Every structure is written in C-alpha cells, then in structure tokens.
Chains A and B, each alone.
Chain A
Amino acid sequence: MSDPKVKKAKKHNILLIAGAALTLAVLLFTFVGAFYTPRDPDAMNAAEKLLPPTLNHLFGTDKFGRDIFSRVMKGTLSTVSTALLTVLAGGGVGILAGAVTGYFGGKADAVLTRLGDTVTAFPAVLTALLVVSLLGPGGWQVAIALAVAFIPSFMRVSRVSFAGQRRLPYVISARLQGASHAGVMLRHILPNTLPSLLPALTIGFSNAVLAEAGMSYLGIGVTPPDASLGYMLSEAQGMLALAPWYAVSCGAVLLAAVLGVGLLGEGLKDA
C-alpha cells in the first residue's frame, strides 16, 4: 500500500519544483529589470520599427522601434512590485484582523464577518475601482486599492483557521502556562494555520498580478512613462496586426507569473 503514496509525493514534488522554477524565473526577470535592461525601454528608433523577434531584439520591436524585451522587463517590475505590495499590505492587515476576530470571537467578530461577507460580494476589481476613484489614479493608489479589496478574503481564511484552533487543548494548555494571547496566537496557532494561509497568499498574489494588469489595461493604474504590463498590453492591442509579438510577450509573462505561482501553491498545499 505504500507504493501509491510514494508516487503521489513524487508528483507533487514535480509541481512544486516546476512552480518554484517558473516563479524564480519571473522574479529574476523582475529584479534584473529593476537595475538593468538591454536597451532603454522608452528609446524610439525609426530605423528599427516593427522588427520580429531576433537575437538582437529578443521580443522584437514595436511601431516606434522600442525594444519590447526591455519594455516588458520594466512592465513586469511595475506589475510584480505592485502585486507584492498588495499581498504584503492586504495579507498583513487581513490575516491580523482575521486572527484577532477568530481568536476572540464575540460580537465584533460577528459584525466584522458580516461586513467582510458583504464586501466580498463585490468583485475585487470593482472594490479597487471604487478605492482608486477615492485616491486618484497612480501606482501607489492602485496598490492600496487592491490591498483594501483583498483584505476580506485574507481575513476570512485566517478567521476560519484561528477560530478552529482557539479551543484546542494545546492552546488552552499554553494559556494555562501563562502565555499571553498575542504569544499564543503568534507562536502556537500561526504555524498551524500556515497550510491554509500559504495557498491563500499565493492565490492572492496571482489575483493581485491580474487585477493590477487589468486596472492598468483600463488606463487606471500606473501611468506612462512608468507603464505596467497591463498598460503595455493595451498599447500592444493597438498594433496587434503590425506587431503581434508585443501582445504575445506581455501575455506570456503574465501567464508565466500566474501559472508559476499557481503550481507553487498547489505543490505547497500537499507538501
């Protein structure tokens, strides 16, 4: 009977490895893009317009002769950093709020849960659009808007885990040994909730990448010259017949980011 189990573990390892490799590649692409791009992403060159991908221009050039590889690098940096910021802020606040309400329970918990359920009824993009219209367009504003939009979903996951653990014997015995509430939550319960929190964080990251790209596609996110992948995709759509490789490059990087993190989350869940 042990044989199938071994096989199962192996399969998940492959997922984990593939996911980690893809994610690392995207992160590497992002961080290199922060310091170095092969060309100036915004330099136009009339002599090199609409070139298909070659070794000289890995992803080709657009109708202004700009190097698409360099542009996509810069766009990825802007998209991925916004998404990371979103997960840090939204995940931090959401997990903390869920932990406190789940652990202590009571009226505040009931009210906050009801409120959270109502907010999750709004698609995250709509909530983010609302918050952006409050703060005005821009990179920081979008990160905050998305963080706010994602808080309820993180809060829900963390609340469920903390509420499920708070009456367990190990929590009570830790309390009896004199551990503070904060100490119990941080040192004892949090590690036990990681199996459900980690996938929530990876899913949150992919959702944040997509939401950021979607909003900047609508022209609401980061404004040029600091273009993000979504903005570039809308730019690429305008030259779809002339330089399809531009749209394909933007789409492929977005897909790779989401797929890599998705596989990673899937692998982590069963690891």
Chain B
Amino acid sequence: MKTVFKKAAALALTLLLASFLVFLAFQLIDGDPARTMLGAEATEARVTELQAELGLDKPFLTRYFGWLGGFVTGDFGVSFSSREQVGAILAPKIGVTVTMSLLSFALIVLFGVPAGLFSARLRHPAAVAAQTFFDQLFMAVPPFVLGVGLSWVFGILLKVFTPLEFPSLTADPAGALRYLFFPALSLAVPRAAMTARMLRASVREELNKDYVLASMARGASPRQAEVRHVLKNALPPTVSFLAQTVAELVGGGVIVEQVFGVPGLGGVLVDAIGKRDYPVACTVIVILAFFVILSHAAADAVNLAADPRRRGGEARV
C-alpha cells in the first residue's frame, strides 16, 4: 500500500513537472503573445487591453496555476488564431489519434510478441544471423518512409484506399479503420521488430537459468517450463519497452498523420506551431506527454503485479 502511494505521488509530481516545463517553454518562446497577435502597428493601449483580456498581465506563476486549474477541469483556454475554445478544436481530433495509436499498439503486440517467442527457440547459427539481420532491417525502416511506400503500393497501385482522403470516423467507422490500418502499420513495423528482439533476448536469458532446469527435472516439459515460469520472468523488460513504445507512437504519429493526411492531434500541433497559436500547441503537447507518462505508470503497475520483489521499494539493496 505504501509503495502504491509513493508511486502515485511520484506520478503526480512528474505530471506536474512536465506541464510546468511545457508552460515555461511557451513562455520563453513568446513572452508577449498579445503584441504578436496584434502585429507591429498596434497601439500600446490596445496591447494592454488584450493582455488584460487574455490574463497576460498577471505574474507567471499565477497564470501557470490558473492554466493548470483550467486544464484539470477541462477548460483549455481559447485559441489565439481562431478564438475558438481549445477543447472544441481538439475534441474531434483526439479520437482519431487515439484510434490510430491503439491500432498500431495492437499490431506491435500481435506481431512482435509471437515473433519474439517463436524466434527464441531457433538456435541454429544461420537462423540467429538471419534474425539479427532482419531485426536491424525492420528496425531501420522509418515510419514515414514506409508510410509513403504503403501509400504508393496500396493507395496508388492496388487502390485499396485513397491516400489523403480520410473517411470520417463517425460517419464511416469501417472505412476509417481500414484507412487507419496503413498509418498504424507504418508506425508498428520498426517497433514490432524491436519488441521481438527484446523479448527474444530476455526469454533466452531466462531459459539458461537453473530454475528452468530444475522445473524440467521435476518433470515439466520444456513447453510447460516456458509457459509457467520463463514467460513470467521474461515479460517485465518487454512490458517496460512497450510503454516506451507509446512515446514513439505519439512522436512518430505526428509525422505519419501528415503522410496519410489523417486529421488527428499531429496536424493540429504542426498547424498551431506554424501559426504561433500557443494555447493550442501547449495543450496538445501536455496531453501527449501525459499520455506517455501514464503509459509508463501503467507498465510499472503491470510489472509490480507480475513480480512481488519489485514491491519492496528501492531501500533494500
């Protein structure tokens, strides 16, 4: 219980620190958004008026906590460029990005885990060399390059989907899912290869340990030993790695969304940065960072549940 409490406190602190860093960064980028918005020929009075309107005349920390309070209650502020509520701008996009990321994550697990488990059993030197080569090859494929490749082969040559024409997620969910399969696959290929490699390495390491031999001496078949003992011990590094994968999906997703013209958070972010629309950009980045931090916490929780030794905390060394 104490561990859970400690972890939760650390998580809250990390979230707070992340949001503070982003807010600070945007403060450094544009110390005077009111003047930027109004342009060079604006009168001093108008600038002051707008500063008051946007709450920019208050001290930095007051603004940060005001913004944070809004953020937790779902009030993300007003876009500088369109004057719309940031929440209203982002709401239709979040679903698309989350669907794409989940689809991609599912593909990574679906391909990476069985490939890792299966290939761990292959011991022939030629097979091992081939594994290393294919690992490196698939890991080297940049998602956005693969995305352009998939658009060419499946979009232009085979006409499985029409590139840059994304069907609406609400009006045509099946079409949208079929469309999202391709960006999700582009994102998944290198990470699935990394997952397989990681899992294979830890399974191999576990298979060489004495407890496997002991369990087989007690009459377990190699298969039983693997399923009952090895998997449980080999999983934690892979689970942690899959959590890091979420960060890559989020970062790579920004670019891959552009490759396929998927109307998600990535497009909003790039657009907002181009237009210096900081409330929007800041909100998107904080949401993405929270997404990443929370998935790390989830991986931690899974590993804690799988391995009681980790519950002791770090004090006993």
Contacts and interface: CB of A to CB of B under 8 A. Distances in A.
Contact of B258 (A217, A259, A263): A217
Contacts of A206: 140
Contacts of A132: 273
Given A123-B251, A247-B149, A251-B149, A237 B259 contact: yes
B25 interface: yes
B18 A118 contact: yes
B156 A121 contact: no
A262 B142 CA distance: 13
Interface in B131-159: 132-133, 136-137, 139-142, 144-145, 148-149, 151-152, 156
Given A123-B292, A133-B281, A259 B140 contact: yes
Nearest to B28: A134
Contacts of B4: none
Interface in B245-277: 247-248, 250-252, 254-255, 258-259, 269-270, 273, 276
A130 B285 contact: yes
Given A11-B128, A247-B148, A259-B136, A124 B251 contact: yes
B54 interface: no
Given A217-B258, A240-B148, A121 B128 contact: no
B302 interface: no
B247 A121 contact: yes
B241 to A, nearest CB: 14
A133 B285 contact: no
A123 B148 contact: no
Contacts of A248: 149
Given A121-B292, A254-B145, A133 B140 contact: no
A50 interface: no
A210 interface: yes
Q: How large is the interface on A (under 10, 10 to 19, 20 to 34, 35 or more residues)?
A: 35 or more
Q: How large is the interface on B (under 10, 10 to 19, 20 to 34, 35 or more residues)?
A: 35 or more
B86 interface: no
B142 A123 contact: no
A125 B252 contact: yes
Nearest to A115: B17
B289 A121 contact: yes
Interface string B5-35: 0000000001001100110010011000000
B285 A122 contact: yes
A22 B17 CA distance: 42
Given A123-B251, A247-B149, A218 B258 contact: yes
A269 B149 CA distance: 32
A114 interface: yes
Per DSSP, chain B at the interface is helix
A129 interface: yes
A206 B139 CA distance: 11
B25 to A, nearest CB: 5
Contacts of A68: none
A236 interface: yes
Nearest to B269: A129
A118 B251 contact: no
A262 B152 contact: no
Contacts of A121: 14, 18, 247, 289, 292-293, 296
A130 B151 CA distance: 29
A7 interface: yes
B180 to A, nearest CB: 18
B148 A233 contact: yes
Interface in A1-36: 4, 7-8, 11, 14-15
A199 to B, nearest CB: 13
B312 interface: no
B129 A11 contact: yes
B252 A11 contact: no
Interface of B: 14, 17-18, 21-22, 25, 28-29, 125, 128-129, 132-133, 136-137, 139-142, 144-145, 148-149, 151-152, 156, 163, 247-248, 250-252, 254-255, 258-259, 269-270, 273, 276, 281, 285, 288-289, 292-293, 296
By Cβ-Cβ distance, the 9 closest A-B pairs, closest first, are: A123-B251, A259-B140, A258-B140, A125-B251, A251-B145, A214-B255, A134-B29, A262-B136, A118-B17
9 contacts: A11-B128, A122-B18, A123-B288, A129-B254, A217-B258, A218-B255, A220-B270, A233-B148, A240-B148
